Amino acid sequence: MTSIIVLYSEIYYEPLCEKYSTLLTLSKEPDGELKKYTKNIRITRPSTNEDTINKTYCSYGISNTLSNNTTNSSINLMTQEQLDEFTQFILNNNYIINDVVTQIYKNNLYNKNKKVIYAFMLNIL
C-alpha cells in the first residue's frame, strides 16, 4: 500500500529566539530514509488574535541535518529556504512527487498558516 505524504510550509514561532520562521513540515511520519530525519514538533499558531479552540498543534518537522545548509541552526529544523535540498533528498532516496495528488490538496485545503507545497510517496520497488 502506498502512503501519500504532503509537504507544507508553516509559520513557526520560536519563543526562545523570539522570531518567526517558515518551516517545512510533513502531514505524517514517512517511511523510508526520510523517517530518520523527522520529528514530532509542537507549533503555536502565529497570531494570538485568532479566536481558535486549539492554539497549539503537532506536526512533523524535518531536521536540518538532512541539509548541508544549516543557516537556521537555532531551531534545527528545515525552513522554506532549504526546499531545493529537501526535494533533491527525496528524489535521490526513492520518493516520487505526485502532481495529481498535489493539485487535489492545493484545490481543497485552505489554511492561511499552512500551505501545500507538494505531495509525494515512497516508490516501492
Rounded-to-integer distance, Cα 116 and Cα 37, Å: 20
Collapsed DSSP state (helix, strand, coil) of residue 54? coil
Please give the tally of structural domains in the chain.
1
Residue 51: which domain range?
4-122
- Tens digits of per-residue pLDDT, 77-119? 999 999 999 999 999 999 999 999 999 999 887 777 789 999 9
Q: What is the pTM of this model?
A: 0.85
Contact 83, 72 (CB under 8 A): no
Rounded-to-integer distance, Cα 19 and Cα 79, Å: 13
- Tens digits of per-residue pLDDT, 20-69? 889 999 999 999 999 999 999 888 766 655 555 556 778 899 998 876 66
